[in-house]
Amino acid sequence: MATRVEVPEAPRDLPARGATKRSPALRRVRRWLTAYAFLAPAIALFAVFGVYTVVYGFLLSFNNWNGLAPHWTWVGLQNFKTLVSDEIIGPQVRKSVGITAIVMVALPTLVVAISLPLAFALNSIRRFQTALRTIYFLPYVTFGIAIFYAWRFMYDPDGVVNATLRAIGLDRLAPLDGFLGSTSTALPATIAVLVWASVPLGILLYLTGLQTIDQSLLEAARLEGAGVLMLLRRVVWPLLAPITALLVIIMMREALQGFALFLLMTNGGPLESTNVLGLETYTLSFGARSTNLGLASALGWSLFVVALILSLINLRLLRSRTQVR
Amino acid sequence: MGRIAKGVALAVLTAYVVVSLYPFVWMASGAFKDRRDVLQSASPVPDHPSLGAFRDVWRDLDFPRLLFNSARITVLDIVLILFVFPLAAYAFAVLRFPGRRLLYLAFVAALLVPGITVLLPLVILDTKLGLADTPWAIVFPLANAAGPVAVLLLKSYFEAIPRELHEAARLDGYGELRIYRKVYYPLARPALITVAVLNVVASWNEYVLPSVTINSPGQRTLPLGLQNLLSTNVVQWNQVMAAALILVVPVIVMYVLLQRYVTDGLRGAVKG
């Protein structure tokens, strides 16, 4: 078996049988070289923009650097200590941890609670299913600055949300500074957008799961007189548990890492009430407080460790699921 | 299912259609309103429909340049991704070589690293390589970030292609590169489209990377222009919505045309 070296216009000489005369060791080495030639572009890209940056960030987190000085100053674990116990940074980070924790609980809970019934309803109808799926998915694919700004427009003090509240006589619920301008409403308002954009993924996953459930099982339960709610709770929910677990983990990771929405909708405000950890890292890296990039790296790496733990849990869950089958 | 349950299901589904589309409706309606109406009227239908906002945005923002820059980054990104990762996926799926499992694991493990963790090092690297303020400062990191999912999807696609095809091509005297180009790459078209669509959306919408690597106005992308529009003192919401609409419409059109590929890709990516 001949394995040709990677010349684009490789001539078709040397029929396969002719090559078998070469020594097996040589052929094996050529085969390996071919494989690595295929991998070379990906490895080059990955080495520079993947591995290098990860290692660089890791090393930087043990140093002090203002971004301009010619050299780093090694400080060991000092940056990690600063994040926890510094008089100014410490409380800031703790506040961000609290806000992020709220998002990490609220986002998965709401996405599961909204997308499961919707998927169940969608699965039960035959007509319009495709059209509805297309529409439901729009928030997910368009997620980005344009959508964030559309929501800001609606949340504006004189925007449609406030106008609607006033029109139906609920003036008290309409914040004067708009939903994003008040410390008590900004976080719920941004979480609502995050939920709105994530529910489609939940619907997609649950729908896939529902379609794999044996229909005769549902039919049997129905014949025994189980109502819809009973069906959902006793049959569908347990069967979809692995998908719920997957969805919860994905949403928790999103809550932990995502910050573009907060950057563009509130920039962490008002009064840091929406300053999630990802955004705090961004601000320490590029914002007004980016005086020590080692500190920003330390926070970025702390996030990485938590994300890694979540992913390992995810892997465990996936494993245990495949073992059952 | 009972008639009542069915009725409830339909009501819930319809209500959620409204929820899903509501911001899009307001974006479109705001874009066609004039300066005064945009915040005063609570009706989604403009009282004095006008294209003024589009005209203003097109003129004030140097829109053709923004569109060109965004399109250029998207095209470069997709070309790079569709060149680099199918090759790698083919090696992982079809070829046998030492270090295969380890290398594959390292590739896919990159999925675990949060974007924010490597954002600062990426910007420093872009500067060091002299890429800052060029499209490449965005293209290379975006392509690299797309790697794990692309390799995951393409590898499983290549693995599903019957091995006999490979053997037959070998017997015809084809080398690996020819087999890849003439047999595997064309057969993987659905997976390639999936990868392309997911990344077109991602790079077209990308705000964070350009915001920290682009300085000169001539290199600005559409999301940066949109951001610029909102950071002015008096926000003209009709203009912001007009620009947002121009940004979002291509994504919607592409998604509606190619949605099967999008959902297939997401299912595959999530499970991997």
CA quadruple A84, A86, A91, A92: dihedral positive or negative? negative
Question: pLDDT at residue B202 above 60?
Answer: yes
Which tokens belong to A98?
Answer: 């609290």
- Token pair 């983990």 is found at A249
Contacts of B1 in chain A (CB under 8 A): 124, 222, 228
CA distance A155 to A178: 6
Under the banding of pLDDT at 50, 70 and 90, the label for residue B164 is very high
Encode pLDDT of A290-313 as tens digits: 889 999 999 999 999 999 998 888
Higher pLDDT, A158 or A58: A58
Which tokens belong to B266?
Answer: 């997401």
Host H or E run for residue A74 = strand A73-74
* Measured torsion, CA atoms of residues A79, A302, B77, B216, in degrees rounded to the nearest 10: -30
Higher pLDDT, A19 or B252: B252
CA distance A257 to A65: 24
Contacts of B244 in chain A (CB under 8 A): 145-147, 149-150
Residues of chain A with pLDDT > 70, as a percent, come to: 91
Which tokens belong to B259?
Answer: 């949605």
Cβ distance A251 to A111 under 8 Å?
Answer: yes
CA quadruple B250, B256, B261, B266: dihedral positive or negative? positive
For A156, which residue in chain B has the nearest alpha carbon? B39
Question: pLDDT at residue B246 above 90?
Answer: yes
Contacts of B144 in chain A (CB under 8 A): 45-46, 49-50
- Whether A228 sits inside 8 A of B140 (CB atoms) is no
Encode pLDDT of A21-45 as tens digits: 568 889 889 999 999 999 999 999 9
CA distance A24 to A2: 11
Encode pLDDT of A194-222 as tens digits: 999 999 999 999 999 998 887 788 778 77
Please state, rounded to an integer, the average pLDDT across all residues of chain A. 88
Encode pLDDT of A241-285 as tens digits: 989 998 999 999 999 999 999 999 999 989 999 999 999 999 999
- Whether A121 sits inside 8 A of B151 (CB atoms) is no
Q: What is the pLDDT, as a whole number, of residue B15?
A: 96
- Whether A38 sits inside 8 A of B267 (CB atoms) is no
| pTM for this predicted structure | 0.90
Rg (chain B; Cα; Å): 23
Please state, rounded to an integer, the average pLDDT across all residues of chain B. 92
Q: What is the pLDDT, as a whole number, of residue A113?
A: 96
Q: Report cis status (omega within 30 of 0) of the bond before B223.
A: no
How close A88 gets to chain B, by Cα (Å)?
22
- Whether B140 sits inside 8 A of A49 (CB atoms) is yes
Question: pLDDT at residue A5 above 80?
Answer: no
Cβ distance A277 to A284 under 8 Å?
Answer: no
End-to-end alpha carbon distance in chain B: 35
Q: What is the pLDDT, as a whole number, of residue A1?
A: 40
- Whether A204 sits inside 8 A of B256 (CB atoms) is no
Under the banding of pLDDT at 50, 70 and 90, the label for residue A10 is very low
The CA distances from residue A234 to A204, A215, A221, A224, A298, in Å, are 22, 15, 9, 13, 46
Mean pLDDT, rounded, for B177-204: 94
CA angle B70, A159, A111 (to 5 degrees): 70
For A47, which residue in chain B has the nearest alpha carbon? B144
Residues 6+ apart with CB under 8 A from A69: none
Q: What is the pLDDT, as a whole number, of residue A14?
A: 45
CA distance A114 to A197: 12
Higher pLDDT, A95 or B46: A95
Amino acid at A292: N
Which tokens belong to A130?
Answer: 């495709």
- Whether A264 sits inside 8 A of B227 (CB atoms) is yes
CA distance A209 to A231: 15
Helix A186-212 and helix A129-141: axis angle, to 10°?
Answer: 140
Q: What is the pLDDT, as a whole number, of residue A288?
A: 78
CA distance A17 to A2: 8
- Whether B247 sits inside 8 A of A145 (CB atoms) is yes
Main-chain phi, psi angles of A63, to 5 degrees:
-130, 160
How close A324 gets to chain B, by Cα (Å)?
17
Which tokens belong to A274?
Answer: 């929406």
For B205, which residue in chain A has the nearest alpha carbon? A144
CA distance B225 to A317: 43
CA quadruple B116, A274, B24, B11: dihedral positive or negative? positive
- Whether B112 sits inside 8 A of A311 (CB atoms) is yes
- Beta-bridged to residue A63, according to DSSP, are A74
CA angle A5, A11, A12 (to 5 degrees): 100
Q: What is the pLDDT, as a whole number, of residue A167?
A: 86
Using DSSP's 3-state secondary structure scheme, residue B13 falls into helix
- Whether B223 sits inside 8 A of A145 (CB atoms) is yes
Residues 6+ apart with CB under 8 A from B184: B90, B94, B158, B161
Query: Who among A41, A49, A200 is closest to B87 (CB)?
Result: A41
- With a threshold of 0.90, tell me whether the complex ipTM lies above it: yes
Q: What is the pLDDT, as a whole number, of residue A259?
A: 96
Amino acid at B4: I
